[in-house]
Structure 1
Amino acid sequence: MTHKIAILGASGYTGAELVRLIAGHPNMEIVALAAERKAGQSMADVFPHLRHMDLPRLCRIDEIDFGSVDLCFCALPHKTSQEIIRDLPKTLKIVDLSADFRLRDPDAYETWYGNPHVALECQEEAVYGLTEFYREEICAARLVAGTGCNAATGQYALRPLIAAGVIGLDDIILDLKCGVSGAGRALKENLLHAELSEGTNAYAVGGTHRHLGEFDQEFSKLAGRPVRVQFTPHLIPVNRGILATTYVSGNAQDIHDTLTAAYADETFVEVLPFGQTPSTHHVRGSNFCHIGVTGDRIEGRAIVVAALDNLTKGSSGQALQNANLMLGEEEVTGLMMAPLFP
């Protein structure tokens, strides 16, 4: 069976990544690509690397016949996404890549994103899209909320450890480095080559990054009590990739054993041998997440390092993984490409 697919926000990085991934999917056909400001253009005009593909021209959202669409990927900015999804057919399956449906508490959404939620009915049915931990709910969902890329990386490193009680919950430090594509495709002065290259910087310092809302929600739910991690992201002058270095209290070998057992049957999460740590090079362009564990010279402390591609496993690859489940496809279909190296 061929599933008819629409992508809203197709002119952004995650939209282009979705097109690239779906090109290798045997049972999906892209029938609509929406990009309001670039409507009327061909995808080859916007992304020349996709010129070999036979794709529909970019259009406005109101030009799409959603009655002929099986599943819609929504790769629009937060706030815009909820306004659009609210008015889509209630029978349409949707994977949203924005932040609009990640936080279950509307008050928390308003706190972190600065505007009230306008699609509360949709919010109530949304399933959090971290596939390995919400697989059963995703299979039955109509609306899946993709995670933040930083939030996904930190959760892969920490969720099994919090659930198993093998680390302290009050002294978790998460130091994360993210490639520039995580900031999106919009023109921004600080992302110009001359402004960004040959340097790196911390941002959202002191607990202001919006993905902390996801950490608070998910880690507290696991622990059964409030858990607040100390989190600082850094922008690094690379196109793709996230490297999260997490400092925790606990026995390093127990931590490694817990992660190994938790991900033993997971195709896309690889726990490295004890003492080895991953590189963003090793997951670039793939749907894989690599995790490493090592002890620290300070007794009772350990370091957990996770690496993934923010555009693939952190966003569009995760979205396709979830869409496969929602459409009854094998979860890994279209996602087994090897990482790009060098």
Structure 2
Amino acid sequence: MTKNIAIIGASGYTGAELIRLIATHPDLEIAALAANSKAGQRMDQVFPHLRHLDLPKLVTWEEIDFSAIDLCFCALPHKTSQEVIRELPKHLKIVDLSADFRLRDPEAYAKWYGNPHAATEMQKEAVYGLTEFYRDEITAARLVAGTGCNAATGQYMIRPLISAGVIGLDDIILDLKCGVSGAGRSLKENLLHAELSEGTNAYSVGGTHRHLGEFDQEFSTLAGRDVRVQFTPHLLPMNRGILATAYVTGAPDEVHGALCDAYADEPFIIPLPFGETPSTHHVRGSNFCHVGVTGDRIGGRSIVVAALDNLTKGSSGQALQNANLMLGLPETQGLMLAPCFP
């Protein structure tokens, strides 16, 4: 039976990516699209690459009749998202792509996002949306909080190593490069072509990046003790993709073995043969994450490298993967499209 889907925030990059993925999903139909700033427009006016699809016109989210909607994706900025979601019908299944329900502790949310949480009861209800590690909880959930794209990448690399006890916990270094679409579609001076192209830069240096809240929460819970990673993100002049490199203390063969064991039955996380490292080119436009391990010239140290598409596996693809579980559909439905190369 076809499930009816609504997308709130359809005029952003993650909204457009959701539409691209759902367009070939055999069991989902887009019944409503909302984008308050562009209400009344057709999607092809906002995103011409979707011109071939028969899509509903954009409306305000208040105009949607949710009585016939099975699941709603909310692809709004943080703060705005919680304010909208708390007004949605209580029967509605929701996958939120913002940061608003990722952190379980309201004080942690206020610390990292600069404002008090306005829907703390729903914050308690939300399930963290890292599919491979919260599959059972997501299947039974009404509200799922999508992870940050940087946070997802780092966790795919490091979570299995913490669980297996094969790395030191006090000296994890994570260096990450992200494409510009990770900053969203709104106009920002530093993202203008003349200011971004032909260069790169670190940002949120020194432990100020908001996704550290997710690393702190998830790694510390997993380890049963306080774990703080050293994390520096960099902005690259490419549209899509994340490439992350983790430097850890641990025997390379054990690190590689732990990742292979953890992901042996996972359809989307692919450990590479030992010594191979991934490229963003090899996952572009797909829901796959490639993870590679190599040893360092310094004995007892390992280098882990992961690549994923920040808009797909890092956001909208993950959201659809979770929606499939919530709706009782095959988890991989609509997500097995091959990466786009070159």
TM-score by length of 1: 1.00
User: Sequence identity, in percent?
Assistant: 80
Q: What is the SS of the residue equivalent to 1:246?
A: strand
Per the TM alignment, residue 121 of structure 1 is displaced from its structure 2 partner at its CA by 1.2
Number of the residue aligned with 2:81:
81
User: How far apart in 2 are the matches of 1:121 and 1:161?
Assistant: 33
User: How far apart in 2 are the matches of 1:226 and 1:90?
Assistant: 36
Per the TM alignment, residue 260 of structure 1 is displaced from its structure 2 partner at its CA by 0.2
What letter is aligned with 1:329?
L
Number of the residue aligned with 1:147:
147
Identify unmatched segments of 5+ residues in structure 1: none
Number of the residue aligned with 1:70:
70
Q: What is the SS of the residue equivalent to 2:14?
A: helix
Q: What is the SS of the residue equivalent to 1:298?
A: coil
Q: What is the SS of the residue equivalent to 2:186?
A: coil
User: How far apart in 1 are the matches of 2:16 and 2:127?
Assistant: 24
Number of the residue aligned with 1:7:
7
User: How far apart in 2 are the matches of 1:37 and 1:219?
Assistant: 38
Runs of 4+ in structure 1 over 3 Å off? none
Note the alpha carbon deviations across 1:214-272, whole angstroms, 9 max, x for none. 00000000000000000000000000000000000000000000100000000000000
User: How far apart in 1 are the matches of 2:132 and 2:241?
Assistant: 20
User: How far apart in 2 are the matches of 1:120 and 1:111?
Assistant: 15
User: How far apart in 2 are the matches of 1:73 and 1:50?
Assistant: 18
What letter is aligned with 2:211?
H
Per the TM alignment, residue 68 of structure 1 is displaced from its structure 2 partner at its CA by 1.0
What letter is aligned with 1:276?
E
What letter is aligned with 1:302?
S
User: How far apart in 2 are the matches of 1:18 and 1:233?
Assistant: 25
Number of the residue aligned with 1:164:
164
Per the TM alignment, residue 22 of structure 1 is displaced from its structure 2 partner at its CA by 0.1
Q: How does 1:295-314 map to 2 (within 5 A)?
A: 295-314=295-314
Number of the residue aligned with 1:327:
327
User: How far apart in 1 are the matches of 2:326 and 2:219?
Assistant: 25
What letter is aligned with 1:65?
D
Number of the residue aligned with 1:50:
50
Q: What is the SS of the residue equivalent to 1:81?
A: helix
Q: What is the SS of the residue equivalent to 1:198?
A: coil
Note the alpha carbon deviations across 1:151-188, whole angstroms, 9 max, x for none. 00000000000111100000000000000000000000
Number of the residue aligned with 1:266:
266
User: How far apart in 2 are the matches of 1:113 and 1:232?
Assistant: 18
User: How far apart in 1 are the matches of 2:143 and 2:316?
Assistant: 15
Identify unmatched segments of 5+ residues in structure 2: none
User: How far apart in 2 are the matches of 1:8 and 1:59?
Assistant: 9
Q: What is the SS of the residue equivalent to 1:287?
A: coil
Q: What is the SS of the residue equivalent to 1:239?
A: coil
Is 1:129 matched with 2:129? yes
Is 1:32 matched with 2:2? no
User: How far apart in 2 are the matches of 1:301 and 1:223?
Assistant: 20
Is 1:117 matched with 2:117? yes
Number of the residue aligned with 1:230:
230
User: How far apart in 2 are the matches of 1:24 and 1:135?
Assistant: 23
User: How far apart in 2 are the matches of 1:252 and 1:143?
Assistant: 38
Q: What is the SS of the residue equivalent to 1:333?
A: coil
Is 1:19 matched with 2:19? yes
Aligned residues: 342
User: How far apart in 1 are the matches of 2:219 and 2:163?
Assistant: 9
Per the TM alignment, residue 110 of structure 1 is displaced from its structure 2 partner at its CA by 0.2
User: How far apart in 1 are the matches of 2:124 and 2:212?
Assistant: 21
User: How far apart in 2 are the matches of 1:30 and 1:282?
Assistant: 29
Q: What is the SS of the residue equivalent to 1:175?
A: strand
Per the TM alignment, residue 98 of structure 1 is displaced from its structure 2 partner at its CA by 0.1
Number of the residue aligned with 2:256:
256
Q: What is the SS of the residue equivalent to 2:199?
A: coil
User: How far apart in 2 are the matches of 1:160 and 1:46?
Assistant: 41
User: How far apart in 1 are the matches of 2:45 and 2:87?
Assistant: 29
CA-based RMSD of the aligned residues comes to: 0.3
User: How far apart in 1 are the matches of 2:43 and 2:220?
Assistant: 42
What letter is aligned with 1:195?
E
Note the alpha carbon deviations across 1:59-98, whole angstroms, 9 max, x for none. 0011000111000000000000000001101110000000
